[in-house]
Amino acid sequence: MTNWKPPHLPAHVFVNPRLAPAEESLAAAATGVVDEAGFARAAAEIKAWPGYQPTPLRRLPGLAHQLGVGGIAYKDEGGRFGLGAFKAVGGAYAVLRHLQDKLGGDVSVADLLAGKHRARTRDITVCTATDGNHGKSVAWGAQIFGCRAVIYIHQGVSVGREQAIAAFGAEMRRIPDNYDASVRACAADAAKNGWQVISDTTWDGYQEIPRHVMHGYGVMMGEVMDQLAPAEQISHVFIQAGVGGLPAAVAGYLWLELDALRPKIVVVEPEKAACHFESAKAGRPTPVTGKLDTLMAGLACGEVSPLAWSLLDKASFAFMTVPDDAAVFAMKVLAEGIGGDGRIVGGEAGVGGLAGLIAGCLDERARQALLLDAHANILIIGSEGATDPVLYAELVGRKPEEVLAA
């Protein structure tokens, strides 16, 4: 970016007074959310899928210099299994685990991929509500493992995202309301028809499948640990939240892996859909209502996942909100590059954490609250690429392929 002229990006920060002490174990602070065995099984299963390869961890020294921090590492999930987002390792993995549990016995990934159980799996229906990427992952998982998928979307989901999900053979149902209404509609139809909900959020009596989703996300963090330089320490992770499954998985993995040396987790949300921010201030799960009409549609959630929240309430150093303009600016920063940084395609929801970092660095009060200085070494999870190429081009001014070609 030749001219660094950021717009006014108000950042609201709440430093968490309930952050667990460094010496406290994950098991003591948040029991039954994620565990080492769950992460290990997910990694073994997912790495056996065709097309698996680690996504890159890209360094952004030019942007780090501009922001006055020590380093920025950006985990670029845009190429994950050709689906364009990290959720490929979440929803599809939960579909796999459901089918394995349903069929019983020692049902392998290889047998399901080969269609050896197709006579039974084709009569199984999975369903979910989605803002886009999770539904695509569930639809893809249903397609490759041989069952039926019904996907619920709300009025804020773009036609481009709807078509991308439908391309995997899923039946699409659009709800004329917000994300949380689509969750309720999906659950009601599943109960009536005997379908299995594959959700990344939890409720009373429904926790195991969202745990599979979160364990699937751990694959990403295992790759990050392998990609960091020897003895390199991450001081902060800025990570976007929808219902909370992604940040909870990241925080849980790092807590188990690094214990007292774990980095500061900063949960970032759109100011128009800030259920974690409001829950943090209230000290308990607190829904936000209304249209939730943020540009970051993948984060347009009004209610936290209770299970994820039980971990984030103890694991998060801070919560913050950013305006939609911050996401657009972050997308442009990645697309244009600063000081020799490579150009990256980041989608509007996928750059939420980066938007938070930029906004936090530009606001002196936020910068001090978040302990950002020249020694900070920051991990960003770039959770999606241009999953809606038309919208991406409208926001950035260039098509995704033009950015990559440059």
Catalytically active residues, by annotation:
87, 131
C-beta neighbour count of 229 within 10 angstroms: 8
Cα four-point dihedral sign 190, 291, 242, 316: negative
3-state secondary structure of 39: helix
3-state secondary structure of 300: coil
Q: Is the Cβ–Cβ distance between 143 and 167 less than 8 Å? A: no
Whole-number Å distance between alpha carbons of 323 and 293: 11
Whole-number Å distance between alpha carbons of 170 and 152: 10
- Give the closest residue to 72 by CA, choosing from 82, 62, 59: 59
Whole-number Å distance between alpha carbons of 31 and 25: 10
* Torsion angle defined by CA atoms of residues 20, 270, 361 and 389, in that order, rounded to the nearest 10 degrees: 120
Strand 57-59 relative to strand 71-76, pairing = antiparallel
- Give the closest residue to 380 by CA, choosing from 351, 404, 402, 337: 351
- Give the closest residue to 326 by CA, choosing from 307, 297, 291, 353: 353
Whole-number Å distance between alpha carbons of 392 and 401: 11
CA triple 266-326-154, angle to 5 deg: 85
